Structure 1
Amino acid sequence: MTDLEFMDRAERLLLAVEQTCDRLNEETDADLDAQRSGGMVTLTFANRSQIVINLQKPLHEVWMAARSGGFHYRFDGQRWLDTKGAGEFFAHLSQCASEQAGQTLVFSA
């Protein structure tokens, strides 16, 4: 994958995260705050815990830091998969965000 292809796919991922936060705020009382700064999105929950998602352009990876740990994802041609087998990005983000919010939150591409 070229740098341009990575950035295109990774930017779409960050946009999907932001749009999902907007949707969740309309549909639930989760009170998520999504702040974007360049290639990084910080999700802040009502309890002040955070999830940080950022792009690692030289490695062609997306990194996520949550209460449960740090995770690295690479695009396999169809989806973003954890480099250590923890699963698909959006499913894992949904799990981490649900734990931190104390309610079920579903993120998708």
Structure 2
Amino acid sequence: MTESEFNDQVDATLDRIEEILDDAETDIDVQLGGGILTIICENRSQLIFTRQAPVKQLWLATKGGGFHFDYDAKQEQWVLDSTAEPLDQFFAKAFSEQAGETLEFDLIGI
């Protein structure tokens, strides 16, 4: 994956997550800028996505820790580097645990 392809993929993924959260009827605040997506939950906790261009990873910071995702071109999705769990499944669980709300995040093939 070239740097340009990586940046395009991160942008598309963060835009899709922002779109899903904006469309949901929640009190979640979403801020996207400079390759960083900050999600501020109603309880004031935050989930933060950042692009890590040198290692071509998408990182997610939660109350439970930091998680690193690699893009799997065959599956057309981001997967957790340690377990290969898809980002959409992992993030749905992390979001539910932290925000106390349930949402589905369809991020395959973006």
Could you tell me the TM-score, scaled by structure 2's length? 0.90
Superposed, 1:43-82 pairs within 5 Å as 43-77=39-73, 78-82=76-80
Q: What corresponds to 1:20 in structure 2?
A: 20
- TM-superposed CA distance for 1:108, in Å, is 1.8
Secondary structure at the aligned position of 2:90 is classed as: helix
Secondary structure at the aligned position of 2:19 is classed as: helix
- TM-superposed CA distance for 1:86, in Å, is 5.8
The gaps in structure 2 that reach 5 residues or longer are none
> Which aligned segments of 4 or more residues in structure 1 are displaced greater than 2 angstroms?
none
Computed over aligned residues only, the root mean square deviation of the Cα atoms, in angstroms, reads: 1.1
CA–CA separation in structure 1 for the residues paired with 2:55 and 2:34: 17
CA–CA separation in structure 1 for the residues paired with 2:28 and 2:106: 16
Equivalent pairs, count: 105
Residue by residue over 1:80-99, the C-alpha shift from the partner in whole angstroms, topping out at 9 and shown as x without a partner, is 01111161111111111111
Identity score, percent:
35
Could you tell me the TM-score, scaled by structure 1's length? 0.91
